[in-house]
Structure 1
Amino acid sequence: MSDALFAGYDAVLFDLDGTVYHGTQVIPGAPEAVDAVREHGTAVRFVTNNASKAPGDVVAHLRELGLPAESAEVHTSAQAAAGVLGERLPAGARVLVVGTESLVAEVVAAGLTTVRENGPEVAAVVQGHSPDNAWADLAEACLAIRAGALWVACNVDATLPSERGLLPGNGSMVAALRTATDVEPVVAGKPQPLLFETAARSAGASHPLVVGDRLDTDIAGAVAAGVDSLVVLTGVATPVGLLTAIAAERPTHLAADLTALTRRADDLKIGPRPGWDVTAVDELAAAGSGDALDLLRALCHAAWETGVTTVRADGDAAAAALAELGLA
């Protein structure tokens, strides 16, 4: 395992939804991949934008899915949001919470007072995902924000991966309040680098690898933190999205799923790949043969270097690979 991707790093920071599991269903190969990282002696941390569960609840869910974990290994956007509030508000300040009781507990732990309705002494609003968030909750938050309260969003993920598919995430509810108030929230979770920096620091790591399925949160957060990343195609990221990714959302490595962590880093790095030839003029012309994901790595490299994102196949093998990637 000395040449495995994870062996080149002193910690692996895993996203959860869409990377390790979909709701109540573990993604095949995820437990074995995490076990391999642990067995090598590399630190493991779970970094999630989902603010609806306390670290202990996340641990319980992971264990149910066959992934041993400890609360100290879990870092949530609710913790990050509470940290932001604690830094900006005086002790005991009133915070209107839109979210779960787990988010309430994090805010209380930061030395602040929580309420569910607006009032003259509300100093801030904190908003995190909860399946029970309703119009009435947004209405109270709207009034407080319009009155000048600090607004902190745990995250702005537009969607939430589940076993049934993509569902509305906290970002969709944040968008409703943004429209109603013309105010931009302070974002505590990914893509801000705070969660990754805190997780790495807790592991004593100086060279971590971020692993996730979203370009706009996981990968953008890694870029913002100045660390390497691996994007997996088990959640939100798609081949089309990767080709057109902006510089702030481009991963270092690309793989189908977490099982690739045990492969050689050079096999996963985005760049030219053996067997495939990609040239760029008006289109990206793909020729050769081999693994479809290798072709995607080569295409991403060419697209990011040239700005050309339309693709055509030169030959049957290239056409089959592009079809497999959904790029035909």
Structure 2
Amino acid sequence: MSGGLRGSDVPLAELHDLALVDLDGVVYKGHEPVPFAADSLATARDRGLALQFVTNNASREPEAVAEQLTALGVPARPDEVFTAAQAGAALLTTRLAAGSRVLVVGGAGLHTAVRAAGYVVVGSASDRPDAVIQGFAPTLGWTDLAEAAYAVAGGAWFVATNLDLSLPTDRGYAPGNGALVGAVQAATGVRPDSAGKPEPTMYHLAVERTGARSPLVVGDRLDTDLAGARSAGYPGLHVLTGVSSARDAVLARPGERPDYLGADLRALAEAHPAPARSGDWWECREAAARVADGVLQVRGHGLDAARAACAAAWDAVDRGESLDPDTVPAWGVGSSLEAAPAR
């Protein structure tokens, strides 16, 4: 019994044949590389792990993403990149015939993907589009959102490439596509269908293009990357270099819980100990945790302490016990995993 976290006696790069790797917060933040990412991915490839870079960012074309990765020391081909723009275009094909008119609110990557799917891209609600598809682009403004709102209010099918509220950059977190989609939703009262994570579409399409049999999802956000892994039925590795912290993992809902926990992408080359129950405690090597009378108690430090805490907290909550979130240590993100005292 692992309390929800899996164990592996061999490195994950040897256990799986494909890694579905998120980008923002995992490989890079804005224009800056995440520490250890390039070397870790190179090591994983050397061990036979194929890579697909699966991103909710729909603003750029796969060629541009591959060029950025290569410049950051992560050699990548366009066919190793799968974007939310491509997933959004695939979602359109489930209801719209080829040749239908689509109002595209987004960047070059989204325009290219929609045209490649056989649709006529229009620029105004006055063109009576059959659908509106909205994806993030830093150049979007009020006029773009207004045209989307006019078209949706007129009956066009509303599709979003993803609903991420925030976007990690090298300066911090900025409004993501979900925040901009929220403006159109507020104006129209229409909630869009979403193609990006946490929907499983992107993961399934990326696996189909490779023929992989044992994929592993790698991400930094519980509500998108890891929730998407659960939806797709694939195991997920949560790395602590982006949005969601180790404390967030301890408090995660069942549908957002990871299968593995790692400080950063070096976790691909590592074995992963599984927490095991010992009396009232969940132990992970030298660390241990338990929930007693709603209070999380933790012995030890670092990643193993966080793993033990996940196991103890998830087990208690799933059995109907209460857990006071203020007793969960304030583990942050990053490789050090130093825990501040519980509040």
Structure 1 residue 188 corresponds to structure 2 residue 203: no
Per the alignment, do residues 287 and 37 of structure 1 end up closer, same or farther by CA in structure 2, a change over 3 Å counting?
closer
Matched, 1:303 2:313: yes
Separation in 2, partners of 1:311, 1:282: 13
| Native 8 Å contact 1:276 1:286 kept in 2 | no
| Structure 1 position 322, deviation (Å) | 9.2
Residue 324 of structure 1: aligned partner: 339
Q: 1:232 aligns with which of 233, 239, 255?
A: 239
Aligned equivalents of 2:296, 2:149: Cα separation in 1: 51
Aligned to 1:318: none
AA in 2 matched with 1:77? A
Q: Would you say how many aligned residue pairs link Structure 1 and Structure 2?
A: 320
**Matched residue, 2:16:** 9
Q: Deviations over 1:102-127 (max 9, x none)?
A: 21111111110111210253100000
| Cα pair distance change 1:80/1:244, threshold 3 Å | same
Corresponding position of 2:230? 223
Contact 1:158 1:169 in 2 (8 A): yes
Deviation at 1:285, TM superposition (A): 4.0
Segments of 5+ residues of structure 1 without an aligned counterpart are 314-320
Contact 1:243 1:304 in 2 (8 A): yes
Letter of the aligned partner of 1:276 in structure 2?
Answer: A
Q: How far apart in 2 are the matches of 1:239 and 1:52?
A: 29
Asked if the contact 2:251/2:325 (under 8 Å) is kept, the reply is no
Instruction: Tell me how far 1:268 sits from its aligned partner.
Output: 9.1
CA 1:106–1:322 in 2, change beyond 3 Å: closer, same or farther? closer
1:34 is the counterpart of 2:13: no
Preserved contact between residue 118 and residue 144 of structure 1 (Cα < 8 Å): yes
Instruction: Give distance in 2, aligned partners of 1:327 and 1:255.
Output: 21
- TM-score, normalisation: structure 2: 0.88
- The structure showing larger relative contact order (alpha-carbon pairs under 8 Å, at least 6 residues apart) is 2
Q: Deviations over 1:203-256 (max 9, x none)?
A: 211210100000011000000001100001111001332222111100001111
Distance 1:268 1:204 in 2: 32
Q: 1:297 to 1:325 in 2, by over 3 A?
A: farther
Query: Displacement of 1:323 after TM fit?
Result: 6.2
**How has the CA–CA distance of structure 1 residues 50 and 175 changed in structure 2, closer, same or farther, with 3 Å as cutoff?**
same
Q: 2:284 aligns with which of 258, 266, 273?
A: 273
In structure 2, what is the equivalent of residue 136 of structure 1? Answer: 143
* Cα deviation code 1:63-91 (max 9, x no counterpart): 11010011111100000111111231122
Match in the other structure for 1:85: 92
TM-score w.r.t. the length of structure 1 is: 0.92
C-alpha distance in 1, partners of 2:36/2:276? 20
The alignment partner of 2:307 has SS state of helix
Q: Is the 8 Å Cα contact of residues 128 and 151 (structure 2) preserved in structure 1?
A: no
The letter for the 2-side match of 1:66 is: G
Q: Which stretch of the first structure deviates more once superposed, 130-139 or 81-90? A: 81-90
* Whole-angstrom distance in 1 between the partners of 2:189 and 2:313: 36
**In structure 2, how many angstroms separate the alpha carbons of the residues matched to 1:114 and 1:327?**
52
Match of 1:317 in 2: none
Check the 8 A contact 1:253/1:269 in 2, yes or no. no
- Give yes or no for contact 1:254–1:268 (8 Å, CA) kept in 2: no
Structure 2 SS opposite 1:119: helix
Q: Offset at 1:326?
A: 6.3
**Percent sequence identity over matched residues?**
42
Aligned equivalent of 2:5: none
**Structure showing the higher helix proportion among its residues:** 1
Question: Contact (CA 8 Å) 1:239, 1:327: kept in 2 or not?
Answer: no
Distance 2:192 2:327 in 1: 42
Deviates more, 1:148-157 or 1:118-127: 118-127
The residue matched to 1:142 in structure 2 has which SS?
A: helix
2:291 and 2:297 in contact (8 A); partners too: no
Report if the CA contact (8 A) 2:276-2:284 is conserved. no
